[in-house]
Amino acid sequence: MASGDELVTSSNPEHPANLIPSLCAKFWTLGWVTGTGGGCSICEDDLVYIAPSGVQKELMKPSDIYVLSLAAQDASLKNRVYLRSPPCYKPSQCTPLFLAAFTLRGAGCCIHTHSHWAVLVTLLLESTDSPKMFEINNIEQIKGFGRGFQKTGNLGYHDTLRIPVIENTPHEEDLTEFLEEAMRQNPDTYAVLVRRHGVYVWGDNVHKAKTQCESLDYLFQLAVEMKRLNLPWISEVTPVGPQR
């Protein structure tokens, strides 16, 4: 075994080095990580598990996974020290964006998709009065989102879900400062859309990141279809029944 291989060797399917390849294989079937785009990273205790760059994400193996220690990084997280590096690869270009979710939000998992629905929503927003914020309310699936950072419970049916949009940059890593700024401006958001590119979604753990990403993709698809039917994303609906 080469140095660090023990960090990605486990018979437990829930081990991050096994989970990242199996999640990416599922995400590929949804069109989230096609053509090497998109990906997923997991942070467990101090260890961050990262996919290689430019590989077919649905075909990855546990032995392809990078591992770094958050505590061992310098304060800027720019000079990254890997505990395990597979030969022949570079780490994902999304690494600094995933690290932002782990360090600024204490997330346990961050997913980046190139979903058509996410891209279409950012294109539709371009020609609106509010191109930098996706907003939707009065849709049941909104309940699939947490209320926000360090808050308990989920959003309610009548709450408005708001997802900020940042502009794309020629290089994925250059998105980091804009993603971090969007997090600061929108402390309760669990996702940031990237115009003409996709979306970053995170959660306290893998289950929450995955279900929030699924809920969001459902809402993006619904929003695109609503726009086609000239239906508004924000509506005034009088609450019915007891308000809890």
Out of 67, 94, 142, 219, name the contact with ligand L4RZE5RM by CB under 6 A: 94
| Spatial CA neighbour of 191 closest among 173, 174, 208 | 208
For residue 137, the minimal CB distance to Zn ion (Å) is 28
**22 binding ligand L4RZE5RM? (CB under 6 A):** no
Known binding residue 24? Answer is: no
CB of 134 to ligand L4RZE5RM, least distance (A): 19
Which stretches does DSSP call E strand in the chain? 39-44, 47-50, 66-69, 82-84, 109-113, 133-137, 160-166, 191-194, 198-203
Q: Select the binding partner of residue 39 from Zn ion, ligand L4RZE5RM, none (C-beta < 5 to 8 A, by kind).
A: ligand L4RZE5RM
Active site residue 14: no
The alpha helices in 58-152, defined as continuous H runs, are: 95-105, 116-126
Burial 92-112 (b: 16+ CB within 10 A, else e): bbbbbbbbbbbeebebbbbbb
Residue number with CB closer to ligand L4RZE5RM (26 or 143): 26
Kindly state the DSSP code that residue 9 receives in the 8-state scheme.
Answer: -
What residues does 50 pair with on adjacent strands?
66
| Site stretch for ligand L4RZE5RM (CB under 6 A), options 9-17, 35-43, 174-182, 226-234 | 35-43
Q: Does 35 bind ligand L4RZE5RM (CB under 6 A)?
A: yes
Distance of CA 87 to the CA centre of its chain: 26
Near ligand L4RZE5RM by CB under 6 A: residue from 64, 172, 180, 217: 172
Query: How far, in whole angstroms, is CA 192 from its chain's centroid?
Result: 8
Q: Under the criterion CB under 6 A, does residue 93 sit at the interface with ligand L4RZE5RM?
A: yes
Q: Which positions touch Zn ion (CB under 5 A)?
A: 37
Catalytic positions are 140
- Binding-site members for Zn(2+) are 112, 114, 197
